[in-house]
């Protein structure tokens, strides 16, 4: 679809409606000439003259606007389902369109179109996207609602079209702008997370001897002992300074996190939705703990053996941007906690995020039985029959296939096949299960 749009946008001038009206007017004119009906001849000739004037005017103006450099800038960060609630759509930050300079002839308006390919969660089978907006006359900027049902990467292009208000002609004008947009998962709600700082690996800070005096002293805080105050230094800089003994050095708690994005790369829409919800749960986990304790450092690893060290909000933002394109990886068997064998065995608690598509998860948890493990797993929604008459469904996050069409996306045909993902029967010391499903 994207290739067809790219080819036609440079060729078509008449819209389907304009072509139909032109054919109809020509038929009426030919019949009127044969029948010598002066009334129909005048009407059809006037219609042809109007279309001719509109066509010539539009072509002339589109040439004048050929160098117009209109740009589109999506919000950062771009989050999926930003306008899921239509009542809140107007309050969401939209894609900004700027650089719409130039006066327009009478009966013409500018339209801005964004088209491209959306790859949800790194899927091979993407979704074609086409959205557009009409620019009010006299405005040099506009807004466009570009939204997606789930996380992924959007490779898109934007361009302008000059159209008459009757819908007869459409002329491409201005330069085309291409962008790659990372779409993050829509936020999820979860239980409040409490982590014992001693559950992670402790990494002692080392200081150079030249910095010894500065390292062993800091500003006074309520609760410090009065005998630890360095009165001489405090008097010199007019600020209370507290001594820190050498055996009371500050420590950092590291949390070891393993995101197991194992599954079939050609899996169904339900599998992609499970992966999306697992990403959302991981993002919620990291943000919540960073807000609770800024001293936490997160060592995050994925199934593709990529490693991240997250120390501050900037590191977290960079990680979440890369997380959008992380796809399923083929399942493989692992002996130990998934980290390199040449590194010493870690004994702190391990936090594992996975989905029901991870067939190797039970064996992995068994290999980690010697260390504490917290498991966050996303399972497909389970339907239970009650009295063989009523059917109830577990509380879960639902993705509607119709959301794709509503947001200007055309799902891949293979996604419509009903998936047969079965829940995994896995449990560990601390297990939190989230459910996700799809509906038409």
Q: How far apart are the first and last CA of the chain?
A: 23
pLDDT tens digits along 91-143: 456 889 998 887 888 899 999 999 999 999 888 878 889 999 998 888 888 88
Pairing of strands 201-204, 108-120: unpaired
pLDDT tens digits along 33-85: 998 888 999 999 999 999 999 999 999 999 998 889 889 999 888 898 865 44
Which range (199-208, 317-326, 379-388) has the least confidence? 199-208
Report pLDDT for 82. Answer: 63
pLDDT tens digits along 209-230: 444 444 467 777 665 677 778 8
pLDDT at 392 over 70: no
The average pLDDT across 5-34 equals 79
The percent of residues in the chain predicted with pLDDT above 70, rounded, is 77
pLDDT at 330 over 70: yes
pLDDT tens digits along 262-290: 987 666 888 889 999 999 999 999 998 88
pLDDT at 299 over 80: yes
Q: Structural domains in the chain?
A: 2-184 (no CATH), 206-243 (no CATH), 253-439 (3.40.50)
Mean residue pLDDT across the chain: 79
């Amino acid at each position: 679809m994207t290739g067809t749009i790219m080819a036609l946008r440079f060729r078509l001038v008449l819209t389907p409606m304009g072509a139909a009206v032109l054919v109809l007017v020509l038929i009426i004119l030919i019949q009127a000439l044969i029948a010598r009906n002066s009334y129909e001849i005048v009407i059809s000739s006037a219609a042809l003259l109007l279309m001719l004037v509109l066509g010539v005017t539009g072509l002339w103006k589109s040439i004048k606007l050929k160098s117009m450099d209109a740009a589109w800038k999506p919000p950062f960060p771009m989050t999926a389902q930003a306008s899921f609630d239509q009542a809140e759509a107007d309050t969401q930050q939209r894609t900004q369109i700027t650089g719409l300079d130039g006066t327009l002839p009478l009966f013409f308006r500018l339209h801005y179109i964004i088209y491209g390919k959306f790859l949800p969660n790194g899927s091979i089978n993407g979704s074609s996207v086409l959205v557009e907006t009409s620019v009010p006359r006299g405005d040099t900027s506009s807004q466009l609602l570009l939204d997606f049902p789930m996380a992924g990467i959007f490779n898109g292009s934007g361009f302008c079209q000059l159209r008459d208000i009757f819908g007869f002609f459409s002329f491409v004008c201005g330069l085309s702008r291409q962008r790659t947009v990372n779409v993050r998962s829509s936020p999820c709600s979860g239980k409040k997370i409490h982590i014992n700082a001693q559950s992670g690996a402790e990494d002692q800070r080392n200081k150079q001897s030249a910095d010894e005096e500065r390292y062993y002293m800091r500003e006074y805080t309520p609760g410090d002992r009065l005998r630890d105050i360095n009165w001489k230094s405090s008097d010199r800089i007019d600020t209370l300074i507290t001594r820190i003994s050498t055996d009371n050095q500050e420590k950092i708690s590291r949390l070891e996190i393993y995101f197991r994005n194992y599954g079939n790369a050609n899996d169904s829409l339900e599998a992609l939705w499970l992966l999306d919800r697992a990403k959302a749960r991981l993002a919620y986990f990291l943000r919540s703990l960073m807000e609770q304790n800024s001293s936490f450092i997160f060592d995050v690893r994925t199934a593709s053996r990529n490693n991240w060290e997250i120390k501050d909000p900037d590191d977290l933002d960079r990680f979440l941007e890369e997380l959008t394109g992380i796809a399923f990886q083929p399942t493989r068997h692992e002996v130990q906690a998934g980290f390199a064998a040449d590194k010493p065995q870690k004994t702190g608690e391990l936090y594992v995020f996975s989905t029901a598509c991870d067939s190797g998860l039970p064996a992995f948890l068994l290999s980690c039985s010697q260390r504490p493990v917290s498991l966050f797993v996303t399972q497909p929604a389970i339907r239970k029959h009650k009295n063989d008459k009523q059917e109830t469904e577990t509380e879960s996050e639902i993705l509607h296939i119709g959301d794709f069409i509503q947001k200007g996306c055309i799902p891949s045909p293979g996604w419509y096949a009903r998936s047969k993902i079965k829940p995994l029967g896995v449990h560990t010391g601390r297990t939190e299960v989230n459910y996700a499903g799809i509906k038409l």
